[in-house]
Structure 1
């Protein structure tokens, strides 16, 4: 009889969401590069997974609150990084829009150019599109970022004990803005 109880436990835990996270648990819709009409990436350096750190920044540029505006803003950021700075792609792994959607940048597997020589090879870079010095990002954008992090753990791309850092924690910058920085400091995985 105890064997049947153990078997039942292994069958029920995943169904009830009590077992380990699984990739299929990741139901977050991420807007793929093709949908926001990203230019082709020339980046080739892989990230070793699971990644231990997440660096949160803001673009300090225009905000976007609809898919059409956020797709355009993602293209603007990529254009600046590729055409003006000469980088191989948009710097970030993911971009968060005020529309509550996550836009794929370099994705989970490719090293970003978001936080300097030391942090880029060991961190996922997530940026919020907008300037958050004086204003808060909307709740739906914050929720999207949290869902993205949970998705990363479920996919095995993020270490379950990952640490969130503000951009200003790892480089001399005002990013991610005073208001967003105060918020991420309350997140359970935040470490200065």
Structure 2
């Protein structure tokens, strides 16, 4: 017959194992997001990938389309951006890796580790997150900010984004107002923000 001490030891080991699995499962769970098929994305003309943990997170605003606050509005905004980027600017796809709507949901653009068209010279080493709307004079809703942080945290927990990543706004690598004054003020308070400036003549660059 097994001793009481052995039974207690075995139960403790099982409890630790279960606890580990639960924690690991949470780490792997993606934040709530809307996949490309759900917002009826057109196929990308070309998909080019890059490897390794992503060293940069770059924050954008769309300016246009305007902020969306319902699922249908945000789906329409995603479609408008993709059409503009593919048909007018002749890019391979919507420029951003992800977009965040005023409904608090994350919308998949190109996704992680796919070369984007959102920040010259950084497209092959960053995740570009666009908060849909004009955030020059207004701050995005708390739900948008929270969803953006959740997406970044998910990427870090799962080794997709480097643990020592650098967070910047689009204006720090291109001459632009993006991501808007109010949003830019906000992200300066977030972890990993860097005041780096790396702007060159980008008149003919992609993005």
The answer to whether the superposition gives a TM-score over 0.5 is yes
**Separation in 2, partners of 1:162, 1:175:** 20
CA spacing shift, 1:22–1:50, aligned 2, 3 Å: farther
Instruction: State the partner residue of 2:125.
Output: 122
Instruction: State the partner residue of 1:11.
Output: 17
Instruction: State the partner residue of 1:70.
Output: 74
Given that residues 57 and 129 in structure 2 are in contact (C-alpha distance below 8 angstroms), is that contact kept between their aligned partners in structure 1?
yes
**Separation in 2, partners of 1:33, 1:176:** 23
Selected match of 2:99 from 95, 109, 114 = 95
Answer with 1 or 2: which has the greater Rg.
Answer: 2
Selected match of 1:177 from 169, 174, 180 = 180
Asked if 1:83 is matched to 2:87, the reply is: yes
- Note the residue ranges of structure 2 that are not aligned, 5 or more in a row: 196-207
Alignment length, in residue pairs?
186
Query: What displacement does 1:157 show?
Result: 1.3
The Cα RMSD (Å) is 2.2
Q: 1:1-192 alignment to 2 at 5 Å?
A: 11=17, 14=20, 17=23, 24-61=27-64, 62-116=66-120, 118-192=121-195
TM-score relative to the length of structure 1: 0.88
Regions of 4+ moved over 2 Å: 7-17, 21-27
CA spacing shift, 1:22–1:157, aligned 2, 3 Å: farther
CA spacing shift, 1:10–1:162, aligned 2, 3 Å: farther
CA spacing shift, 1:31–1:16, aligned 2, 3 Å: closer
**SS of structure 2 residue aligned to 1:57:** strand
